Structure 1
Amino acid sequence: MTTALHLANADDFAKLDPLVEAFHSEMQIATSPESRNAGLMPLLQGSPYGAAYLLGPRRAPVGYVVVTFGWSVEFGGMDAFIDEVFIRPAIRGRGVASEALIGLAKALENVDVCALHLEVDRDDEKALKLYRRAGFQPRERYMLMTRQLR
């Protein structure tokens, strides 16, 4: 199986938004249509801060991944953070997410991204197995901390 990664644009909002809504519902993240629009549209309109990709066939995507960009002195340049990754439940377990994450890492490496990070629930064994399969390793000394500003 080869999972296609399609850079999403504003014309893809109607396909992407229901996937994001499904992910947020599954993860019990309270969002509104307005907040999803505010989070997605800049990425779909070419923001340099991140990108959204549709996974699988562009006309009927089976998932998505959102990546954001930053800078790291530790890693020596631009780094990226997988903000969200979602595969429709009926499609899970077929290697789509693994292929997409591996393909995304290769694509980002080719544009000089030095490190790719993500956040995972320490108790989610399936997700941990997926991310390890895709080449991610835990950083045992560190944990992600957040201060919400708005």
Structure 2
Amino acid sequence: MSPTIRQAGPADLEPIQSIIKEFYDLFGYPYEQERHRRMLTEFLANPALGSIWMVYHESALVGYLALTNGYSFEFGGHYALVDEFFIREAYRSLGLGRAVLTEIQQKARQSGLQALHLQTESYNPRAKQLYESLGFRDLNRSILSWEID
């Protein structure tokens, strides 16, 4: 059975925040509940920033995918970044990740995006293998970040 995805809206703040916290806790990312609540509230209220897709399997919320919007001269215009993608551990190896990304790729084409980017942790070769099997390419670049406070 393939997953169902639907775009989250402001009314989905609580379940989205809960599953994001689960993702951050699993991977040891820093999570500040009030800060994330403020960011999610702003993000869900402003579609120009991107979208969050809720992933369901047999009516259970099992994951989410966050897309943020950007613009790139190199890639010919508008693109989206898969900023976060999470499937609960109990639902991995069912083909849900592949099905979700395939549907997101179709939505990207339909919306006129020029590229879809994502990043993965270097310690997660299984995820990288999935992404490459769906046509994502490793451009052999490093992502460098400078955080402002």
Above 0.5 in TM-score? yes
> Which residue number in structure 1 is paired with residue 95 of structure 2?
95
Query: Residue 109 of structure 1 corresponds to which residue in structure 2?
Result: 109
Give the strand-richer structure, 1 or 2. Answer: 2
- Secondary structure of the residue aligned to 1:61 is strand
**Percent of paired sites with the same residue:** 26
CA distance in 1, matches of 2:77, 2:113: 7
Aligned to 1:123: 123
- d(CA) in 1 for partners of 2:77 and 2:59? 35
Give the deviation of 1:58 after TM superposition: 9.4
In structure 2, give the amino acid aligned to 1:70: G
RMSD: 1.6
Within 5 Å, give how 1:1-150 maps onto structure 2: 1-56=1-56, 60-140=60-140, 142-150=141-149
Distance 1:58 1:69, change over 3 A: farther
Q: Give distance in 1, aligned partners of 2:10 and 2:137.
A: 33
Aligned residue-pair number: 149
Work out whether residues 9 and 46 of structure 1, in 8 Å CA contact, stay in contact via their aligned partners in 2: no
Equivalent residue letter for 1:47: P
Q: Which one is further off, 84-93 or 120-129? A: 120-129
Where in structure 2 are there 5+ consecutive unaligned residues?
Answer: none
Change (3 A) 1:87 1:21: same
Aligned mates of 1:90, 1:123 — CA distance in 2:
20
Deviations 1:113-148 (A, max 9, x none): 1111111122311111121223211002x1111111
TM-score for both structures, normalised by structure 1: 0.92
Shift of 1:72: 0.7
Shift of 1:43: 2.2
Q: Deviations over 1:9-33 (max 9, x none)?
A: 1111121111100100111111111
Cα distance in 2 between the residues matched to 1:16 and 1:55: 10
Judging by fraction of residues, say which structure has more helix: 2
Offset at residue 149 of structure 1 (A): 1.4
2:87–2:97 Cα contact (<8 Å) kept: yes
CA offset digits 1:45-84 (Å, max 9, x no partner): 2331111110115963110000000101111110111110
1:114 aligned partner, one-letter code = Q
- Separation in 2, partners of 1:99, 1:134: 10
Q: Please give the secondary structure, in 1, of the residue aligned with 2:61.
A: coil
